[in-house]
Each structure stands twice: as structure tokens, then as C-alpha cells.
Amino acid sequence: MTLRFLDNDAIRPFVRCISFLPNLHTLQIGSVEYGPSPSLLKKALGWTSLPQIKTLIIPEAAHPLIEHCRNVEDLVWVIEDVWSRPNRFLQSLVSNLGSKLKRLTIPLVSTDNPSRK
């Protein structure tokens, strides 16, 4: 499943939807360039647990998902800004996944790439 957040109104229905998909094992969040802040995503997730997610492909701004997807084994952290400060992302990673994580991939994606628009 791939979803690009266009506005903050999409967050809650999105979270509700994926919580009812027990066979969903891979979750990919595209660019959040025009999307919600991490604090809005965290608020929308609330007490949601997504134990079925094994592969998570997210930009840094979607780091609150890590806390709710505690069984992730394969994490792709897409860095869109070479100057980003990954503190919250890394804290979430270490605090929530621990020894379950088997693979971490960190590609650097240029937001100036015309093929992404």
C-alpha cells in the first residue's frame, strides 16, 4: 500500500483503515512534503497497534509509525533532506524495534528529482 498524504484530514481515516487490514505486512509512506507534521501523525495513531507490519518504508517525518509497528523486521528510512536531523527518528528506532530489526536501508532521495513529481 502506498499513500501520499495530501492534507491532515486523511490521517485519521488512514490509520483506522490500516488497523483493520490484518494481512497488510508492508507499509510505504511516500513523501510527506505536503503532509502532516510528526506530532499530528502521532496524535492520529493514538493507541493503535499495527503488529502485522513487517516492512516499513517511511520518510523521517513519519517516524511515529515505528512506535506502533513493533514487529518491523525490514525498515527503509528514506532521507529526503541531506541536512535533516534524525534524532527523533533514531530514538524511535532504538526504543521500539531493538533486536527485531533484521535490515535497515537508508537511501538518500533528492526532492529535486523531476521523476518524483
Whether 115 shows a pLDDT value over 80: the answer reads no
- Residues in CB range of 61: below 8 A, 6 or more apart: 32, 35, 37, 38, 41
Q: What is the pLDDT of residue 98?
A: 67
Residue with more model confidence, 43 or 94: 43
pTM of the model: 0.73
Q: What is the mean pLDDT of the chain?
A: 76
Number of domains within the chain: 1
pLDDT tens string 50-95: 999 999 998 877 888 888 998 999 999 887 665 566 677 777 777 7
Structural domain range at position 45: 2-116
* Helix, strand or coil, per DSSP, at residue 54: coil
